[in-house]
A and B are shown apart, each in its own frame.
Chain A
Amino acid sequence: MTEPLLSVRNLTKHYPIRKGLFNRQVGAARAVDGISFDIAPGETLGLVGESGCGKSTAASSVIRLEEPTSGEVVFNGNGREGATRNPDGTHPNDVTKFDDRELKAFRRGAQMIFQDPSSSFDPRMSVGNAVGELLNIHGMSDRRRRRAIVEDLLERVGLSATDFDRYPHEFSGGQKQRIALARALVLNPDLIIADEPVSALDVSIQAEILSLIEDVQAEFGLSLLFISHDMSVIRQVCDRVAVMYLGEIVEIGPTETVFADPQHPYTEALLSSIPTPDPRASVGGIELKGTVPSPTNPPSGCRFHTRCHRVIQPEGVDVDRDDWRGLLNFRDNVAAGDVDIDQVRENVAAGETDASETEIRAAIRREFDIGETVDDPDLERTLSEAIGHLLDGEIERAETLIADAITTPCAQREPEQTIHAPDHESACLRHEERVSADPNPGDD
């Protein structure tokens, strides 16, 4: 096996939350919580997920714009190939342990492109000087040589050499992103980290920049870590893709495999939310309710279980999938105090007549997409008792009742990585159970 250019192991970045007079740490936002991946030379790895899942923090921790809390980032480019581990287990190429001199050298081998091209240039510096500044910092003091290199690069990214003396405001967003790419390339790096490089651009310009990135990658033999929330962009440029949710990688694999056969329910839901440009395709697919939970207090077990449509039912329970999701949502909403029975009553009443109890019960079931009867007599009894408590205004009783009766294994145990193919892994309890219990199950 060839040596990967970049090898990230258990990388974490926690932001401390401080409070009070003495600024004591009271908790931490676990933005990145133990992610691992490799990037081979010349390969593009995509990092995808909703906003707030830690993609950008992962990128800036890898390149050490921010100090990672723990973990290892081994960078084998830039003339550091073939190093072996020290006797004490540390790696000589571990970026997180680099001193200042090594870090400066590392920055020559790894560069970053940011989302907003307008705010990543100094408006008072000509673009040629902005690109050439890096050469100067890294020791090329010959002004004429710098100019020659930058002019050549500007041409390679589709601008002209005469643009050297122009200023950022004279360029459109797409052109500025081309200049940003030239700036990333000027030190001849082995790795470029691109954080949402096209999401601030128009679709038609997006396509141009993406194909430019691909051309440049082939020409310079670059590895890319490509961060985007846009699945269709990821599909266009990435060889492999890692799907992030709340600071963790839930699935990683070759792009085509992940798109064709997603193994983690989150990947599945993300893919199904992309609007397909086919007017005959049925609207819908899997609806992910709500947004990513707060990373300061992530859900126990599998972090996705609060929104998962395939959340596992405990042993002995076998009800409709949507009913089960609805029951869990009902439980969580009651616990969070988000079920406002007076509001429901008012909505149902619609004017003069008071709402009858059956109507309110039906309205609550509708709200949580629970069918008329749940297919399990025990659960059905619990649900109707809980709604009864709510109607009596005894919210706490309802809460304790369902908290004990409606539980899922997903909340109790953290899933391990399941290997589907040598290069395709996902972390979902469903796969673990399948592997151990049922070698060839039908799809639920």
Chain B
Amino acid sequence: MSDTQPLLEVEALTTTFSTDDGTLTAVDGVDFSVDTGETVCIVGESGSGKTVATESITGIIKTPPGHVEGTVRYKGRDLLSLPESELRAIRGTEIAHVFQNPQEAMNHCYTVGWQIVEALQVHRDVSDEAARAKAVDLMDRVGIANASARFDDYPHEFSGGQKQRVMIAMALVGDPDLLIADEPTTALDVTVQAQILRLLDELQDEFDMGILFVTHDLGVVAQIADRIVVMYAGKVMERGGVLDIFDRPGHPYTQKLLACLPEFGGTPGGIPGSLPDPHDPPDGCRFAPRCEFAEEACRTGEQPAEIEVEPGQRVSCVHYGPGGDPSLVRTENFGPTDDESEAGPADD
């Protein structure tokens, strides 16, 4: 990794919620970073804390009942210690969000163009005319045909994919340096998903944005990620470069997750068991109760410290730590079972 300062640096991020049944820890001491122009994917099952982690970054978690601790450094400034007014100035302009369900993210009583203009005028003092021109320009940029005519259409007149394009246009109003996309293609058809992923890729090149992408689809991850953060039950299990993780996944959880894919053998039945209760997480490694390699040491104490197994690839597993035996869990030649996939040049 470069020694320049990353665009976003998250350290020991912990988000808890007070509930009737006690305190629930959704994100528990998570570290990761995003560089300029890079795509980092957070993967994990639902309930693993992916979304809460990204929403804690810009403070859109409702507090209370939520409570966020740790440090989130964006261009060197700690976002968590900023007053709300300064955070507002960053949110939506420098850091923008795109959410999973464009239907719910829009107000269907107003025209699409009006909503983009509103987003623009919240942050910038621009005239109505200039805002309209900019909005049409953005709609055109995200690939909506005949943008100036579609400006006055209502959300229901757009298809799901087009709505997601509009959401992306809205996110781009402030020329963000960091785009946080939370499952932006999960609600869409594969063909439309392919269009949106392509669009994000083009926009990233054009604006030199860092993208933090939340998804559970490892196919999407393989296509767009530069680096991956694997989360499980609020903890980071493993993080590293996309090639390292797909070729040599270190953590048993990552291995299991990949093994669910038909291309990797497709373990029938998925991963046995389910996520632990977030009110009362197990001692030791969070994954230990479902892990076939779990030993006594896995079930006591804290989540194991991260060990760097390859440059840039860190694994939180007892077996890599002092006194552990990595060969127990490490499988060489992890990869697609059938060798249809010709090894092309790495595209990063």
Contacts and interface: CB of A to CB of B under 8 A. Distances in A.
A275 B197 contact: yes
Nearest to B218: A277
Contact of A282 (B140, B146, B344): B344
A288 B161 CA distance: 12
Interface stretch (B29-37, B61-69, B172-180, B255-263): B255-263
Contacts of A232: 219, 262
Contacts of A337: 146, 149
A207 B347 contact: no
Interface string B242-278: 1100100000000001101111101111110010000
A279 B222 contact: yes
Contacts of B194: 273, 275, 285, 287-288
A327 to B, nearest CB: 16
A350 B193 CA distance: 30
Nearest to A207: B270
A279 B247 CA distance: 9
A235 B264 CA distance: 14
B330 interface: no
Contact of A278 (B137, B147, B341, B345): B341
B148 A231 contact: no
Contact of B222 (A202, A276, A291, A338): A276
A346 B267 CA distance: 54
A280 B343 contact: yes
Contact of B347 (A230, A269, A270, A283): A283
B191 interface: yes
A400 interface: no
Nearest to A229: B189
A202 B216 contact: yes
A125 interface: no
A231 B242 contact: no
Nearest to B189: A50
B347 A282 contact: yes
Contacts of B111: none
Contacts of B137: 346-347
B222 A288 contact: no
A270 B145 CA distance: 23
Interface in B110-164: 136-137, 140, 145-149, 159-162
B195 A289 contact: yes
Contacts of A202: 45-46, 216
B1 interface: no
Contact of B270 (A205, A284, A343): A205
B2 to A, nearest CB: 21
Contact of B192 (A277, A291, A340, A343): A291
A152 B147 CA distance: 59
Contacts of B343: 280
A210 B136 CA distance: 45
Nearest to B161: A291
Contact of B201 (A283, A285, A338, A340): A283
Contact of A281 (B192, B220, B222): B222
Contacts of B331: none
B243 A280 contact: yes
A289 B263 CA distance: 27
A273 B190 contact: yes
Interface in A200-230: 202-208, 211, 214, 229-230
B44 to A, nearest CB: 10
Contacts of A236: 262, 266
B217 interface: yes
B75 interface: no
Contacts of A274: 190, 219
Tell me what chain A mostly uses at the interface: helix, strand, loop, or mixed.
Answer: loop
A51 interface: yes
Contact of B217 (A203, A235, A279): A203
Interface string B186-215: 000111111101100100000000000000
B144 to A, nearest CB: 10
Given A207-B270, A277-B222, A51 B189 contact: yes
B223 A273 contact: no
B328 interface: no
B336 interface: yes
Nearest to B193: A273
Interface in A48-102: 50-51
A340 B147 contact: yes
B160 A207 contact: no
Contacts of A288: 191, 194-195
B269 A278 contact: no
A283 B274 CA distance: 33
Contacts of A208: 269-270
A107 B222 CA distance: 44
B188 to A, nearest CB: 9
Contacts of B222: 275-279, 281
Contacts of B246: 277-279
Interface in B316-339: 336
The residue in B159, B190, B261 that gathers the most chain A C-beta atoms within 10 A of its C-beta is B190
Contacts of A51: 160, 189
A280 B219 contact: no
A136 interface: no
Contacts of B162: 291
B346 interface: yes
Contacts of A287: 194-195, 198
Contacts of B145: 333, 338
Contacts of A283: 197-198, 201, 223-224, 347
Contacts of A279: 222-223, 225, 242-243, 246, 346
A336 B146 CA distance: 10
A338 B190 contact: no
Interface in A246-276: 269-270, 273-276
Nearest to B160: A51
A184 to B, nearest CB: 20
Contacts of A281: 222-223, 341, 344
Contacts of A275: 193-194, 197, 217, 219-220, 222-223
A202 B44 CA distance: 10
Interface of B: 45-46, 136-137, 140, 145-149, 159-162, 189-195, 197-198, 201, 216-225, 242-243, 246, 257-258, 260-264, 266-271, 274, 336, 341, 343-347
8 A-B pairs with least C-beta separation: A207-B270, A275-B219, A338-B146, A273-B194, A273-B190, A288-B191, A279-B242, A279-B222
Interface of A: 50-51, 172, 202-208, 211, 214, 229-232, 235-236, 269-270, 273-285, 287-289, 291, 333, 336-340, 342-343, 346-347
28 contacts: A50-B190, A51-B160, A51-B189, A203-B260, A204-B260, A204-B271, A206-B270, A211-B269, A214-B268, A229-B189, A235-B262, A270-B190, A270-B191, A273-B194, A275-B194, A275-B222, A276-B219, A277-B264, A277-B336, A280-B243, A280-B346, A281-B223, A283-B223, A284-B198, A287-B194, A289-B195, A291-B161, A342-B148
